[in-house]
Structure formats: C-alpha cells, structure tokens
Amino acid sequence: MTTRTKIAGAVLGAVVAGALAFVPLTDDGSAADGGGDGGGSLAAGPAQKEAVPSFTATDWVSYGDQVAVVRVTAEHELREPDEGADTDTAGAGEDYLARTVDLQVKERVWARSGAPALPSALSFTADGWQVKDGARKELGSPDSSRLEVGHTYVITLARFSGGAWAPLGSGGVLPYDHGRGGEGEFRGETVTSDAYRSAWEARAVPGDEAPVASRTAGKPSSAVREVLRGTRPDATAARYPGLDPVARYRRAAGGGSEPAETFCSVAAPLAVSEDSRYTPQELAAVLGDLAALAGRDAASLRAYAASLTAGDGTPAAADDAAREASVAGIERECGTDVGELLPTDV
C-alpha cells in the first residue's frame, strides 16, 4: 500500500461485540506492508490489540469454536441514530461509517469438542469506511481480508458473550477463492496464493509458531483441517470450555506461572454480574470442575451436572434439589450470587 491514512475507527477493540478490530502483526505500531505495492484506496487502521489472539493454529483451537468456508453475499451500512464526526477518535473532518456483512456457510471444516452449532448463515460487523469531506474510503486491517461481497474465505468463528458469532480476530480470516488458501481478497486487493504466502513468510520470526495463513496458502480446506487436528490447545484454555473466547483467553494469559485453581475462581464466571452464556452441556462442564474442587457439596454439583447432561436443559429436566443445593453451596463458599443457576443459552 502506498497510501496509509491512520484513523481510529469505531470498531477498534470490538471483537467482544462481534466485530473485527484492526491488528497488524508488527509490535512497533507501524502498519508494515506484507510485500507488494498498490492498495492506495484502502485506509489502514492503527495498531491495536484484539481481545483474543487469532493468527496461529494454537490460537484457533484454543479460542475458536468452528472453522468454516464462507461466502460473503451482501454488505450493509450501519448508521447510528445521531451519527456525526467523532473528534475524539476520527480527527477533524473525519467520520467512520460501520458496515455489516452477510455470510453463507459453504463448508464446515473443523469444530472443537462440545462447540455450539454453527448456523448456515450469519451476519456481523466488519471493517467499514472512512468518510472525510464527503468522500468515502474503504477501511481495513493491513494484515487481514476486508470481507468483500462475492469472495470466499476460510474463517475461524467463535460465539462470544451474549451469543453473537464473529471471527475470532483478524488473523482468523483467510482468502479462499477457487478452493485455494490465500487466493482472493486480502487487504482490499485480489491476490494470488503465492503472493499471499510470500507476504507472510517474509514476516516469519524464528522460533515462533507460523500463522495458519502461511501454513495453508495454496492448499484446500482439508489442509486447514489437518493442521488443526494436529494442534493441541492451550492447556489452561482447554479447562474452560464453558467460557466464551475472551474469558478463556484471560484465563490463559493470567501469568507465566498459573495460579492454582480454587473453587471460587472456577465459580466466578457463574456470577449473575458476569452475564456469561451457557448451554446445558457447558454449564454441566463447569459444575463438574467445581465438584472436583468441592467438599461436602460435591455430590450435589455432580448430580445437577448429570441431570443437565441427560435432559434438555429446561427447568423441568433439571434436578431441582441438586440445583438448589449447588446454589447454596456456591453462595456459601464464595459469596457469589449465581441466581437460579440454570442454563442461559437453550
């Protein structure tokens, strides 16, 4: 890219809300090119950390729920009721116009064990437009596809807090036109798989895990599946399958030496104030972890977890006596208000 206008878009850091945020691979805050010129019509967002890492296979299997081949079928402007230039984020005379995209799932490539079912069609917020003095300019990440209508992609998707599906992050969106990884739309341009691979290999850091983008360039989706099947998730993240990706990553990134888990630290996401979403199976998994750390309440926790797994997750199917005992035990031990302790995503 020869032209780079840096503005702070409204979607920065919005992965939690189901949007793609801007995240270059460089650590110095620069928007480094991945090789090649052109792309001057695309404005680049500034360097920001996303809520979840998304470039490597370890990232995908630790924090992603589903990987799919999708095709973008439509895009829509997303205007706020009282829109106008935000001088705190866009600069004088500049505005940000958000965009949503509609996707059709063409192939399901991989899913983590116990992952929620992926709908056949979905929509979410993607990079939009910079508007300055009435002129509109496409805005995108210097290290990711923009998601443009008519193009196909391999995307690692996750269901975030509140139930919204979205890409795990900018590193989890790969061009996939004509059934070849790295071929199609990247940074607002149409690229070949060879150029795409070269761009990523030029940034390789010895000793670091290579991104999925470079490992699967020029290959079919089955190669992505094999890479993921051969990758072990982060051990800490794997212990919290019931948490949304952001909460899982926060657990995994809690420090170089992980503190020992306690009954109350495992129970913390169940607090009403956390507004976490759980299917019956996900809630049962958390209750099973709690039972392993519990004393006198272990039997009640296991019984309630078993009823959730065996039933359909409705109040009628749950073991009410075990549920009430579990609520009492958690609140007694931790002082945490867990409400009725019923599944919140049924």
pLDDT higher than 90, residue 67: yes
* Per-residue model confidence (pLDDT) at position 88: 43
- Confidence grade of residue 315 (pLDDT, cut at 50, 70, 90): low
- Identify whether the C-beta of residue 170 lies closer than 8 Å to the C-beta of residue 54: yes
pLDDT higher than 50, residue 16: no
Integer Cα distance of 212 and 39 in angstroms: 23
Amino acid at 247: A
Q: What is the value of pTM for the model shown? A: 0.63
* Per-residue model confidence (pLDDT) at position 222: 97
For CA atoms 219, 139, 46, 166, the dihedral sign is negative
Instruction: Pick from 31-40, 77-86, 299-308 the range whose average pLDDT is largest.
Output: 299-308
Integer Cα distance of 109 and 113 in angstroms: 13
For 81-133, what is each residue's pLDDT tens digit?
444 444 344 444 568 899 999 999 999 999 998 889 999 999 999 989 988 88
* Per-residue model confidence (pLDDT) at position 12: 26
* Per-residue model confidence (pLDDT) at position 261: 64
| Token pair of 210 as six digits | 């290579």
